[in-house]
Amino acid sequence: MALRFTLFSRAVSTSVSNMNSIKHVTIIGGGLMGSGIAQVAAQSGQNVTLVDVNDDVLRNSKNGIEKSLQRIAKKLYKDKELEAKKFITDAVSRVSTSTKIKDAVKSTDLVVEAIVEKMEAKHKLFSDIDSVAPESTIFASNTSSLSVTEISSVTKRKDRFVGLHFFNPVPVMKLLEVIRTVDTSDDTYNKAMEWGKSVGKVPITCKDTPGFVVNRLLVPLLCEAVRMMERGDASARDIDTAMKLGAGYPMGPIELADFVGHDTTLSIVEGWHKKFPSNPLFEPLKSMQELVKQGKLGAKTGEGYYKYNK
Ligand code: CAA
Ligand code: NAD
């Protein structure tokens, strides 16, 4: 009994000493993922600055955040209309927006980058902000597939750099992959895990390997489904129905590829193909390349393999 009590007290004090110390977060990239990450942080009581190069994107992001909060409030507060309204207005008021990237990182505890899946763009961004952000600020990338070590290489804070990989739609998907590079310090890793919990996610630890855990398994599956459709083995609808009804997936793989965005998926596959040219699972997809050329990026642009009401 005494031993159990000691272990219990130690567990409590550990969790208290590890409590989230991050109070202000700057999210860079206000698209699908950035707006979701901003939302979950604001919902959890943190102040957020959401940054994008484009003012229209920021306006759309704020609208999207409000709509998503309404869906959540409906479930959380059912008939308590006033409490639901307060939950929404409080969370929305914690999100400020900006197009001035350097100003937005001058006083912040954590920067989470969610811009395009291109190494050059991420390098430019992190080298621009490294000399402006406070020394104690932790940098994180939400990259789906790029090496976090390589992204961090342009900064002087490799020990304060992690991957924080969220899943789409961020307000719904519970998982957070925390990617620890060989340079990430214990303190940064612990803070990243605690922050993940503080925004309501279940964090897991991953090494800096291509696709970490989920995408290394999921992206080849999506690509195999598209290849099956390209060969004419089955229609997109039938492939999706098969995986929903035969494997219990919430969405079929072609539908999911549309949901993720073909610009993102193609960047992932082309990047891996360059690194591992002999792996047939990473062979770029002709129909996807064609969709991207035509700007049909999936659900976010209203058309991909399927058509959507925007
Ligand atoms: N904000 C708030 N709530 C939302 C929401 C949002 N954006 N989207 C859905 N919801 C809620 C709904 O309110 C609903 O809640 P209740 O069931 O409690 O009423 C619930 O989620 C289900 O939503 P819907 O009924 O509208 O639709 P659905 O049942 O088809 O679920 C889905 C939608 C959650 C997206 C589901 O289809 C799903 O889980 N799909 C798979 C998503 C997935 O695999 N994501 C990972 C992609 S890979 C990735 O992200 C990594 C990468 O790097 C590419
Ligand atoms: P998106 O195209 O919806 O959004 C990207 C946003 O970044 C755009 O609004 C763009 O204007 C902005 N941007 C581009 N360059 C910028 C810069 N230099 N500074 C500030 N803003 C800039 O893309 P997304 O789907 O949100 O993906 C963002 C990142 O998250 C990518 O690295 C992607 O691989 C990763 N990711 C995507 C998903 C997904 O399902 N789509 C899931 C997990 C991770």
Ligand 2: which atom is nearest the Cα of residue 143?
A: 32
Residue 264 CA to ligand 2 center (angstroms) comes to 8
Q: Tell the residue nearest (CA) to atom 23 of ligand 1.
A: 172
Q: What is the mean pLDDT of residues 109-119?
A: 97
pLDDT of residue 310: 67
Residue 31 CA to ligand 2 center (angstroms) comes to 5
Tens-digit pLDDT profile for residues 33-92? 999 999 999 999 999 999 999 999 999 999 999 999 999 999 999 889 999 999 999 999
Ligand closest to CA 163: 2
Residue 309 CA to ligand 1 center (angstroms) comes to 17
Ligand 2: which atom is nearest the Cα of residue 124?
A: 18
The chain-wide mean pLDDT, for the chain, equals 93
Tens-digit pLDDT profile for residues 15-27? 333 478 899 999 9
* Residue 173 CA to its chain's centroid (Å): 10
From residue 283, alpha-carbon distances to 144, 243, 254, 256, 270 in Å are 17, 22, 17, 19, 7
Q: For a pLDDT cut of 90, what percent of the chain falls above it? A: 92
- Residue 204's pLDDT band (boundaries 50, 70, 90)? very high
Residue 4 confidence (pLDDT) above 80: no
Residue 251 parent element (H or E): none
Ligand closest to CA 113: 2
pLDDT of residue 309: 87
Q: Which residue has the higher pLDDT, 19 or 139?
A: 139
pLDDT of residue 46: 97
Q: What is the mean pLDDT of residues 172-195?
A: 98
Tokens of 61: 């992001």
Ligand closest to CA 143: 2
Q: What is the mean pLDDT of residues 186-204?
A: 98
Cβ(308)–Cβ(299) below 8 Å = yes
Taking alpha carbons only, the member of 107, 95, 26 closest to residue 59 is: 95
Residue 12 confidence (pLDDT) above 70: no
**Residues contacting residue 310 through CB under 8 Å, at least 6 positions apart:** 301, 302
Active site members: 144, 165, 177, 215
Residue 29 CA to ligand 2 center (angstroms) comes to 6
Phi/psi at 50 (5° precision): -105, 125
Residues with CB under 6 A from ligand 1: 68, 71-72, 75, 144, 167-169, 171-173, 215, 218, 250-251, 256, 260, 264
Residue 301 confidence (pLDDT) above 80: yes
pLDDT of residue 17: 37
Ligand 2: which atom is nearest the Cα of residue 267?
A: 34
Taking alpha carbons only, the member of 195, 193, 128, 187 closest to residue 159 is: 187
Residue 86 CA to ligand 2 center (angstroms) comes to 30
Q: What is the mean pLDDT of residues 102-122?
A: 97
Residues with CB under 6 A from ligand 2: 28-34, 51-54, 57, 101, 114-117, 121, 125, 142-144, 166, 168, 260-261, 264, 300
Helix/strand/coil for 227: helix
pLDDT of residue 150: 98
Question: Look-up: residue for tokens 């700057």?
Answer: 26
